A and B are shown apart, each in its own frame.
Chain A
Amino acid sequence: MTAFPEESFVTPDGRTIGGVMMEMRNITLRFGGVIAIKDISFDIREGEIRAIIGPNGAGKSSMLNVISGFYNPQEGDVLFHGKKRPPMRPYQVARQGIARTFQNIALFDGMSVLDNIMTGRLTHMKTGLLEQAIWWGKAEREEVANRRKVEEIIDFLEIEHIRKTPVGRLPYGLKKRVELARALAAEPKILLLDEPMAGMNVEEKEDMCRFILDVNDEFGTTIALIEHDMGVVMDLSDRVVVMDYGKKIGDGTPDEVRASKEVIDAYLGVAHD
């Protein structure tokens, strides 16, 4: 894949990539005197897999936290579906249909896999507190419908065998998968993955890659991910943003980015002659 058309188009492997869904415009994020993100702009288009890469400390996770509302940038705007988003709390962003996973896995350790994934459906459950307390009629029907959806996702990610296991007991790779399942359960418009393959062995990585591609392909979910493994990123993503020291140093298709001198310098270092 080389050039990336402006209009919506169909990729060679048959996926449709639409217009701009989310746009980051001149985002600057500071922590006291430290500038984590410096005047970065990029967009995420409907149906694509967008990667954010960069060396350690480049500000990738901060960027993801800005998108998901965990940080509010001092300058710049976040536009969702063309509309400027006011400063929001993370739970409000989640209710807009933006789900995420965390670099260090944030699951509810005391709850079963099933319950963990069910929490992902919370934004879809509309019955009020009283109806829930009585648990009759609408509340029960809603629970059943949501449960069905969750079972679909469990099948999809092949974790049927651990449904009732408390999450705290699972090995790392499976925890990552449960976290993905919880985010997917929200049927998000945009799925944010913070290093979905960190700390995994080759086999687990291959599984995870397959799941990410399948999610994008089957549900048409827009995905933005951070990843260190260059091979993985180049294979998975449609477009890549490259960050270094809080600045954007590259943006384009994997081939374009790979050919960029600035990117090569950032990753391999500059020759001092």
Chain B
Amino acid sequence: MPDQVLFAMEVMLNGLMAGVMYALVALGFVLIYKASGIFNYSQGVMALFAALTLVGIQQGQVPFAHLINAVFGTEIHHFGWHLPAIVAIILTIGVMIGLAILIEHFVLKHLVNQEPIILFMATIGLAYFLEGVGDLMWGSDIKKMDVGLPQGLSEFIDTTTYNWFGYGFFIDRLDIAATIIAAILVAGLVAFSQYTKQGRALRAVADDHQAALSVGISLQFIWVLVWSIAGFVALVAGIMWGTKSGVQFSLSLIALKALPVLMLGGFTSIPGAIVGGLIIGVGEKLFEFMIGPLVGGATENWFAYVLALLFLVFRPQGLFGEKIIERV
């Protein structure tokens, strides 16, 4: 096989893996949008917050250490423990559930029956608030995330492909792990929403609030549930991105990459988020590889958005979004 084709294949594979990472973020948006019609601007910050909390708990950092030291004149920074990753993850899940309860109690509850744009504005506020709290709680320095995920070149793939084609593919083991975890996560979410009573209640609330109330579904409970699940997805995305590029505040900007994914896949479809993510991932890598050199490179910065723009013109509901049909 010619080198160019092999190289393109490698680029494509890497694109697919990157797409999975985008899809993970997009998934959080879809969950909340499906269940409550809210576009949750703070999803990216939630991923950041989850990652910060995870690292903080794992390393035994004292939350609000700076604040406490400034007020009381103490000098505490660490509890002096180092927790195993799994314990830290479980504790962080607890924190994200707590966060969901607080959001429902202090924000959503007071905005029932408001216009979607108002709820959207509220989530923008939430994003800035969370960013501030994250900073105050855990400090703003870049942290290293280590929960034991494999990293670096996958030698198995490298040698196998070398034996087959005489050219070794460079695939990051973290990307492989991310793909597997994302697949499990999506399968789990789909099964949960299709086969359990809470899943059914969740879809019911997404469809019609009044009818949901009339069959005895508590909207509050469902909202807390949805935001908890979104928080969990944010944690998974935070772990992946945090491991890849360190836990830093620019992590919240990955939300921007999720937008084109959502426009492609449709705001209401879980499979759409996955497929959209893969298309964007592969698309931008291949485009950079083939067209990039002709236009001076750096196409990855804008390719996804231009693609999304094209979709908005020709298929505004996205690939898998629900087409709005009104029975007249």
Q: What residues make up the interface of A, taking CB atoms closer than 8 Å to B?
A: 68, 70, 89-92, 94-95, 99-100, 102, 106-111, 115, 118-120, 122-123, 125, 127, 129, 132-133, 135, 139, 143, 168, 182-183, 186
Contact = CB atoms under 8 A, between A and B. Distances in A.
Q: Which of the listed residues B204, B208, B216, B219 has the most CB atoms from chain A within 10 Å of its own CB?
A: B216
A90 B209 CA distance: 11
B211 A122 contact: no
Nearest to B34: A110
Interface of B: 191-192, 195-201, 203-204, 206-208, 210-219, 225, 322, 325, 327
* Interface residues of chain B: helix, strand, loop or mixed (majority): helix
A244 B195 CA distance: 47
14 contacts: A89-B218, A91-B213, A91-B216, A102-B214, A107-B207, A108-B207, A108-B208, A111-B203, A119-B215, A129-B225, A133-B192, A133-B198, A135-B195, A186-B215
B213 A94 contact: yes
B213 A90 contact: yes
Given A108-B208, A111-B203, A111-B207, A132 B215 contact: no
A125 B196 CA distance: 10
A123 B216 contact: yes
A84 B27 CA distance: 46
Contacts of B201: 119, 122
Nearest to B322: A110
Q: Which of the listed residues B199, B213, B322 has the most CB atoms from chain A within 10 Å of its own CB?
A: B213
A68 B195 contact: no
Contacts of B225: 129
A120 B212 CA distance: 9
Contacts of A106: 208, 210-211, 214
B217 A122 contact: yes
Contacts of A127: 197
Contacts of A115: 200, 203
A89 B200 contact: no
A115 B215 CA distance: 13
Given A99-B214, A106-B211, 19 more contacts: A91-B213, A91-B219, A94-B215, A95-B216, A106-B208, A107-B207, A107-B208, A108-B207, A110-B207, A118-B200, A119-B204, A123-B216, A125-B197, A127-B197, A132-B199, A133-B192, A133-B196, A133-B198, A143-B197
A90 B216 CA distance: 7
A68 B213 CA distance: 10
A120 B215 contact: yes
A108 B197 CA distance: 15
Contacts of A111: 200, 203-204, 207
